[in-house]
Structures are given as structure tokens and as C-alpha cells.
Chain A
Amino acid sequence: MSKQLDLTFSALADPTRRAILARLKGGEASVMELAEPFDMSLPAISKHLKVLERAGLIARGRDAQRRPCRLQAAPLEEIAEWTGGFRRFWESSFDRLDDHLAQMTKKESRHGRKKRK
């Protein structure tokens, strides 16, 4: 898997960081605003934000005072692509293949055909 994806997955593994992302779904917010619901120091929150930023999940504004954070969707979409589209296509197909092969195996044994290997 790509490095980006490694970063994204490990960033998402932490409940505080997921809560921060959930908060940012409602719109951009400053570090102070983000820290509010958590029983955590500002430096601790800042550390989480750095992880999220490195994973490309958030972007920070240029305003030196507030440096507001906002959600970046691209890495999330990349994860969805990996876990959804392609995988789901093949998973569904192979489940159907199981049933199909069960029928073919039964049919073959019924006809007493010799196995060719």
C-alpha cells in the first residue's frame, strides 16, 4: 500500500483524532475551538493536529493567529476506493463463484467424470 495510505490509516486509528475530524466535518475550527471538548492540553491537541496534517487529512489556514483547520477529503476517498470499489466487486463475484463451483462440482461427480489434472 502507498505511504500516504499508511499515514492515513495510522492517523485514523486514534479516537481523539477521529473526534477532531468529526468536528471538522461541521466546518473549519481553530486549535482552541478543537481543544474545547477534550480534557487535553493545547500542545497535546496540536500534536494530534500535526499527525492529521501529515496524513493529509486536514489543512491549516495561513492566518498566523488562528491557523484554522479544515477537513481534506482526498485521503479518505483513497481509503474508500481501496476498501470499497475494487474489493467489493471481487468479493461479491467470488462469493457467487463459490456457489457456481459447488454446482459444477456436484454436476461432475453426478456424471462420474474422471478428474483431469
Chain B
Amino acid sequence: MDARRGSDHKLVVDGVGEREIVMTRAVAAPRHLVFDAWTKPEQVARWLLGPAGWTMPFCKIDLRVGGAWRYLYVHDSGKKMGMGGVYREIAAPDRLVFSESMDHGESEDIEVSTKMFPGESVNTLTLVEKDGVTTMKLVGLYPSRETRDAALASGMEKGVRASFDRLEEMIS
């Protein structure tokens, strides 16, 4: 299993320009299975969970143009988080465009949950398969630089704290 996580499958995250985040990551699977993993709720809830301690007790996907998606997260500590948006373009198995916003996960209804920051991003997922390896590219376009930067810091204070501590160790 670890062989598949060689350096060429490493996640690359880049802030591009003022308003974009571009992520690429390769996985050892055919493209249609990767597309399913991103769009079938019972599959999404198994992997799109972030660091250990988070679960996704609610995952709803209406895979149609104009259809909504909604994920609710709960951490062992009791902290909650939500994400959701609307599908804008669906071209299985190679392209998916959807809006996304993040909130504090108070309700299954995204409208009554408190947003983490105003506005939403428009994410474009592109899947390219070569020799059984699929490269996923996710481009998030945010309404402003502030929102882009906030998204990078959002909802995962533990991770931020932990790495800030590491950084402090580095300079001590």
C-alpha cells in the first residue's frame, strides 16, 4: 500500500494568483472509480474526512446540474463543521464543477448554518487517467483573496495549531 504513496502521488497545494487554490494528487485507480468516490455519498463519507477524529454522519448528494450537496462533520471533541454547494457541471468521468461554502455545521440545512466566511468558491475537479493512474486536479476559485486565505486556514484549527507548534519548535 505504501508503494502507491510514492513521491509521485504526493499532494501538491498551491495558492495561484489572488483567488485560487490549485491541488493535484495522483491515485492508483481508474478514473471512473475516482469519479464515483467523489460523487457517491456512501463513498464520500468514507474518505473525505480530514485528519483522524473527524466523521461524516451526514452526506447528501443530488448529482444533477443545479442539484445540491451537503456534508456534515463531527469531531471526537464535539466540534462540528459543514460544507455544501451546488453542482454546476457534470461530465462523468472526467470533470465536475461545483460551488462550495463552509459553515459551522449547526444544521443539515445549509441555509440556517453559520458560514465560516462569506461567499463561496467554485471548484473544478478534473480527472486524467494514464496507465491506470488517475491524476486529480482540483481548482478552487474564491471570491476574494481574503476568502481564499481564510479557506486555507478554516475548520481545522487543530492542524493549524499543531503545525504552528512545530514551527515554534523549529525556531527555538
Contacts and interface: CB of A to CB of B under 8 A. Distances in A.
Please say whether chains A and B are actual partners in one complex.
yes
B131 interface: no
Contacts of A99: 1, 47
B156 A88 contact: yes
Contact of A97 (B1, B21, B47, B172): B47
Contacts, number: 137
- Chain B, interface residues (CB within 8 Å), range: 35 or more
Interface string B132-172: 00000000000000000101111111011111100110111
Q: Give chain A's interface secondary structure class.
A: helix
Contacts of B164: 76-77, 80, 84
Nearest to A20: B171
Interface residues of A, number: 40
Interface stretch (A35-43, A59-67, A101-109): A101-109
B27 A98 contact: yes
Interface of B: 1, 4-5, 9, 11, 13-15, 21, 23, 25, 27-34, 36-37, 43, 46-52, 93, 129, 149, 151-157, 159-164, 167-168, 170-172
